A and B are shown apart, each in its own frame.
Chain A
Amino acid sequence: MFAISDPQILLGYGLSIGFTLACIAYGLYHGYRGETSGS
């Protein structure tokens, strides 16, 4: 895939993108809908 044959490198790219999407999803959900606590 993408001309990279080493699965460890591909996994690294996959996790980088996956964690980025998790940051967006968590941040938007809890930042705009989920939480009401704060100072």
Chain B
Amino acid sequence: MAVDTLTLAIATAIYLAITIALGYLGYKRTKSSEDYLLAGRKQHPVVIALSYGATFISTSAIVGFGGQAANLGMGLIWLTVLNIGLGILIAFAVFGKPTRRLGQQLGAVTFPDLMGKRYNSPFMQYGTGIVIVLGMPLYTAAILIGGARFIETTLGVSYTTSLLAFAVIVALYVIYGGLIAVMYTDAFQGFIMLAGMTALLILTYIYLGGVNAAHSALDAMTPLVPETLAAQGMQGWTSMPDLGSPIWYTLITTLVLGVGIGVLAQPQLVVRFMCAKDDRTLNRAMAAGGPFLLMMTGVAFTVGALTNVWFYREGGQIAIQAAGGNVDSIIPLYINQAMPDLFIVIFMLTLLAAAMSTLASLFHAMGSALVCDVWSRGKACVHSVRSNQVGCVVMMVASVGLAFLLPGSIIARATAMFMGLCASAFLPIFAVGVLTERPSPLAAKASFLAGALSWLLWTVFVHAAEAKPIGISQALFGVPTLLGAPWSLIDPIVIALPLSTLVIVAVQALSVRAAAPVTEAGAGE
């Protein structure tokens, strides 16, 4: 064990006691299914901002993408640009307010419910619900893995025990406290994350001799870039990869675009907009959300790259070598080896908080999608808190099972896959649904199917990173991917999102005269 047991036990006990107390508070304040599903639609701006940010940022962002920054360099900062520019600024200023109004006017309680009611189409509710139920466990499993890996490394507890205990603790307060408990605990966890990441940034620069010294040292390590990475276009940790090289495609199309755009149409985040009492609440939340995101992803990606300097000075190895080749182990290893014991405890709580806040929201979103949108659409959901609780349990079990099946170094890729799927299938229908006055159900159905199916086909048959390990292309056609480079390097989102966007624009334009208004609720009302 890397940390003093007593210190760790006390800190963890205090953290869990506060989390459970907030969960209990949420349980006591949950009087109706609307409280359970939408936190009563009256949450404070700070709670919304921290809950949105803490849900947005998980161990995947800190451990998975921080590890990717250690491997591929500071170019990942472009994901921070999109996280803040699209994930906060555009999300709140453009999408947030009409989403809140529509949600309230239509009485929608989940993202699929919003789509179904906005388009007056049961198909849209079923379809989006099924994509969530089938796709979200992948992202959930990635977050479970990130948290469990850190607990394993820090506490010396077995990976299996870490993963199971982690999932059960989160599930308990989600199941009993609903979204009120989720948002209260998110806000508390958001404060911990902010403190932990701030300390991580400051300590890292202190250890490496200051900002300029640290960056200079990283720049000077360019000759140490492994030959395999250099051959694929990497030019150093303080430079972007060669334009059009394999690493450039991975960095830009999968990690930056996949996650950066995908976040706009995340069902568990869209629900946060519907929890606000009014537009002012969302505006105030945005003022807190931007700095929060900067301190989360900006710090993770910067420190991730700088870990190379520390590992090289201490052991003569770059980060990925020190971590035994597993990208997902770099940040936990750095924390455990470089940081003082007290900070290890704080950072363990930071990661626990990051993972628990996102997991809680995902369990809640998956459970409500399973029950409200797929299993008993329009019926039991609005009347039964118990059925939603059962849905959370079922989806938690599915996610834990998947976490045991996934391979190593999977966190960032699994996250990017789910976000890419969300962007391809959900973003055009979400944008047209909340931003236009007469959205066409036919256009939405065509776009949703085009986005989801093209994403799936490109993933299974073309994009080498997934198509090769999945193996269906090899089994059916005798080749690992149906298309060669550069197509096999391009992430599915780059194909599927423009296609689904094109489809909705074309069909919407064609059917706009024939389409009857499906609701009086429109953007800007």
Contact = CB atoms under 8 A, between A and B. Distances in A.
A31 B294 contact: no
Nearest to A3: B215
B240 A17 contact: no
Interface stretch (B124-132, B284-292, B337-345, B405-413): B284-292
Contacts, number: 118
B289 A37 contact: no
Contacts of B101: 39
A1 B429 CA distance: 42
Contact of A16 (B81, B93, B286): B81
Nearest to A7: B240
Contacts of A4: 74, 215, 219, 238
Contacts of A16: 77, 80-81, 84, 294, 298
Interface residues of B, number: 42
A12 B284 CA distance: 25
A35 B279 CA distance: 8
Interface of A, helix, strand, loop or mixed by DSSP = helix
Nearest to A36: B280
B318 to A, nearest CB: 18
B326 interface: no
- How many residues of A sit at the interface, in one of the four size bands? 20 to 34
A15 B219 contact: no
Contact of B290 (A22, A32, A39): A22
Contacts of A38: 277-281
Contacts of B213: 3
B283 interface: yes
Interface string A1-39: 011111011001101110111111011111110110111
A19 B85 contact: yes
B32 to A, nearest CB: 18
Contacts of A22: 89, 290
A11 to B, nearest CB: 9
B80 A23 contact: no
A27 B74 contact: no
A31 B285 CA distance: 8
A23 B219 contact: no
Contacts of B284: 27-28, 31-32
Nearest to A28: B287
A23 B215 contact: no
Contacts of A28: 283-284, 287
B84 A26 contact: no
Interface of A: 2-6, 8-9, 12-13, 15-17, 19-24, 26-32, 34-35, 37-39
30 contacts: A2-B215, A3-B214, A4-B74, A4-B238, A5-B239, A6-B240, A9-B77, A9-B240, A12-B77, A12-B78, A12-B81, A15-B81, A16-B80, A16-B294, A19-B85, A20-B84, A20-B290, A22-B290, A24-B291, A26-B287, A27-B92, A27-B284, A28-B283, A28-B287, A30-B280, A31-B283, A32-B280, A37-B279, A38-B279, A39-B278
Q: Which 10 A-B pairs have the closest CB atoms?
A: A23-B290, A38-B278, A27-B287, A31-B283, A3-B215, A31-B284, A27-B286, A12-B77, A30-B283, A19-B84
